[in-house]
Amino acid sequence: MGVSVFNGLVKAPARILLLIGNIRRRQLLGRGMGRIRIWAGMSVCLAVVLLTGCAATGQNYLSVASSIPPLKGDGGRVFFYRTDSMMGVALQPEIRLDNQVVGKSQPGGFFFVDTSEGLHVASAQTENEAKLEFNVEPGKTVYIASSISLGILVGRVQLNLKPETVALSDLSPLRYTGGDMLAAEPSGASPPAGLPSTGSRSPRSRVTMADLELLLPPPATGAPR
């Protein structure tokens, strides 16, 4: 009986130490899982912020379609658009038409450019440079879709001509990212329709002292002005 009691007293500290070790491991594991949950939540929030900031925010195509001005003269129109895809959402390369920047490849966005008839070249660049040569016929509209595919470093941009039926279906949920919708005169590659040329802006009149005096409160009765 005495031997059993002695053995119990010897083993008790070891059991206590083992129990303390198990509790400590559980605490550390719980803290680690808590940190993982915090980082995961922060990552989700950051992703939402980035995706919200990258997406187009204008009015959708169906809302502005009736406001799009008709073509003038013998030129044509080019629609550039990009569907709302998660692939390469942070990449928004500039779109060039005949080496002139006319807009950006923005997820879920579209814009259009009025240009002259004949052959034109659209281009965009990320880790690669995509070029697309196409013909614009008088009074006709061309639709070009941009997209981002997997690349070696960041992603590869692509430009593809789309049939009108496919393009109009793609455009319906997309948002307008161009300027004010005022018709642009077709003269080579023009900026997005609605952006007034420098020659069309009305000159500002000079401000005179008489104009400034009109802003002052009326003088008190009998006080010199």
pLDDT band at residue 222 under the 50/70/90 scheme: low
Per cent of the chain over pLDDT 90 is: 46
User: Tokens representing 187?
Assistant: 């003269």
Mean pLDDT, range 189-193, rounded to an integer: 45
Residue at 218: amino acid letter: P
pLDDT band at residue 86 under the 50/70/90 scheme: confident
pLDDT at position 34 is 52
Query: Which of the two residues, 139 and 28, has the higher pLDDT score?
Result: 139
Highest mean pLDDT among 2-6, 11-15, 107-111, 202-206: 107-111
pLDDT averaged over every residue in the chain: 75
Element (H, E) at 103: strand 100-104
Report the alpha-carbon distance of residue 40 to residue 10 in Å, rounded.
46
- pLDDT for residue 91 is more than 80: yes
The residue whose two tokens read 């450019």 is: 113
pLDDT at position 193 is 45
Over residues 66-81, the pLDDT tens digits come to: 999 999 888 999 999 9
Cβ atoms of residues 78 and 115 within 8 Å: yes
Over residues 8-26, the pLDDT tens digits come to: 544 556 666 666 677 767 7
Query: Which of the two residues, 188 and 55, has the higher pLDDT score?
Result: 55
For the entire predicted model, the pTM comes to: 0.60
Contacts of 34 (CB under 8 A, 6+ apart): none
The residue whose two tokens read 């009326």 is: 218
pLDDT at position 214 is 53
155 Rama sector, left if φ>0, alpha if ψ -120 to 50, beta otherwise: left
pLDDT band at residue 187 under the 50/70/90 scheme: very low
Over residues 114-161, the pLDDT tens digits come to: 999 999 999 999 999 999 999 999 999 999 999 999 888 889 999 999
pLDDT at position 13 is 61
Does residue 104 sit in helix, strand or coil? Answer: strand
Mean pLDDT, range 56-65, rounded to an integer: 87
Report the alpha-carbon distance of residue 15 to residue 10 in Å, rounded.
10
pLDDT at position 72 is 86
